Amino acid sequence: MRIVSYNVNGLRAAMNKGLMDWLKTDPADVICLQETKAHRDNVDYKQFNDLGFHDYWFSAQKKGYSGVAIFSKQKADNIVYGTGHQVSDDEGRVLQMDIGDIRIINAYFPSGTSGDERQTYKYTWLDEMYDYVAELRNSKPNLVLCGDYNIAHTEIDIHDPKGNKKSSGFLPEEREWMTKFLASGWVDTFRSLNPDPHMYTWWSQRFPSVRLQNKGWRIDYISVTEPLAPRVKSAAIYPDVKQSDHCPIYLELA
């Protein structure tokens, strides 16, 4: 199974910037998108169907905000919308799909960059997600949690760790959550295979030169539970795919 996770920062905008042309190259069997900012009925979803994808959507109640979607070449055995946490579900943050013995969780973690209120909610959301997946593992041991985590875990995951010590996304509490999460039986698939620095998935749009100079953050992840770790064949980041301020990330499972 080949999986791509990609925060598109507006699906319709990404489609206008060549997303469909990239999907025509057959990059994966399952495409998990975050921050779609759209509902199915205002997107030309038939373009995905024409490429052989089944489409599944979980959009925010607020128009033009948040939202996740999954496009899969294989029809899902089961789809779960949300996690049962109202604020998260109202914002369309988590969509889950079962294929065979694998549960794929496509998640758009909250950002805390807009102020203290959202940062506080981010911590609440992280605790809710930690408990949710811990309970889920009792019935679904083979989990894939992919998406925009909005956390750069270690200093190797950010271009300027000293200058961002007080920035949301690299705060000590967020990084500690990530450490706790991975220690509880999860594997950061990209980092497990790629120890090299300067590999990022997001670049600020405020200054166009930032991406050219590769001054980025690695805040997008595909993590798997430990039973799936032996099935990890490859993991990659695709910085040259540029329909968003993020780039796609990739996982192949045997």
Contact indicator for 73, 104 with CB cutoff of 8 Å: no
H helix or E strand, kind and range, residue 131: helix 116-136
Identify which of 155, 135, 124, 174 has the alpha carbon closest to the alpha carbon of residue 217: 155
Say if CB 130 and CB 173 are below 8 A apart: no
DSSP at 96: E
Beta bridge partners of 253: 232
Residue 251 DSSP SS3: strand
3-state secondary structure of 250: strand
Token pair belonging to 123: 């911590």
Give 139's contacts (C-beta < 8 A, 6+ positions apart): none
Residue 41 annotated to the active site: no
Residue 234 and residue 251: Cα distance in Å, rounded?
6
85 φ/ψ angles, rounded to the nearest 5 degrees: -95, 120
CA distance 96 to 77: 11
Distance separating alpha carbons of residues 200 and 17, to the nearest angstrom? 21
5: enclosing H helix or E strand: strand 2-7
Which residue is catalytic, options 29, 148, 157, 188? Answer: 148
Q: What amino acid positions are annotated as catalytic residues?
A: 148
